Amino acid sequence: AKCRFAHTSNAVGSWLFLFGGNDGREFLNELNFLNLSTLEWMNVKVGGVPPSPRGHHTTVFCDSRLFVFGGSDEKTEFNDLFILELGVNAYLALQPARLS
């Protein structure tokens, strides 16, 4: 995995999921897995439409899904929600509910 800041990481079982951030030159949208038993990084191919490159977002792991919400890329502040289904390694994009 590249060095970065403004990313998120979530530990689940023997895995650490690292998403997005900035490597000092550009914002990233890659997802890396760290096997906490072997300390080996994996760059996993993920299907679907991924979130655009971003930092300062939020990620939460629930059931077998990784939720990615919001963030920014210095030009845009995002109000979007992506769900990564880890069982099939595919993203699903959702629009957040609007407040009434």
Q: pLDDT class for 1, splitting at 50, 70, 90?
A: confident
| Helix or strand holding residue 60 (H, E) | strand 58-62
| Tens of pLDDT, residues 51-61 | 999 999 999 99
Mean pLDDT of 87-98: 82
Q: Does residue 71 register a pLDDT over 90? A: yes
Pick from 12, 14, 39, 42: nearest CA to 30 = 42
Residue 81 belongs to a domain: yes
Cβ neighbours for 56, distance < 8 A, ≥ 6 positions apart: 6, 70, 71, 72
**What is the total count of domains within the chain?**
1
Q: What is the pLDDT of residue 87?
A: 85
| Tens of pLDDT, residues 74-91 | 999 999 999 999 888 999
Q: pLDDT class for 70, splitting at 50, 70, 90?
A: very high
**Distance (Å, whole) CA 26 – CA 74:** 10
Q: Which amino acid type is present at position 19?
A: F
Task: Determine if the pTM surpasses 0.75.
Answer: yes
CATH number, position 60:
2.40.10.480
Residue 68 belongs to a domain: yes
Domain that holds residue 83: 8-94
| Helix or strand holding residue 35 (H, E) | strand 31-35
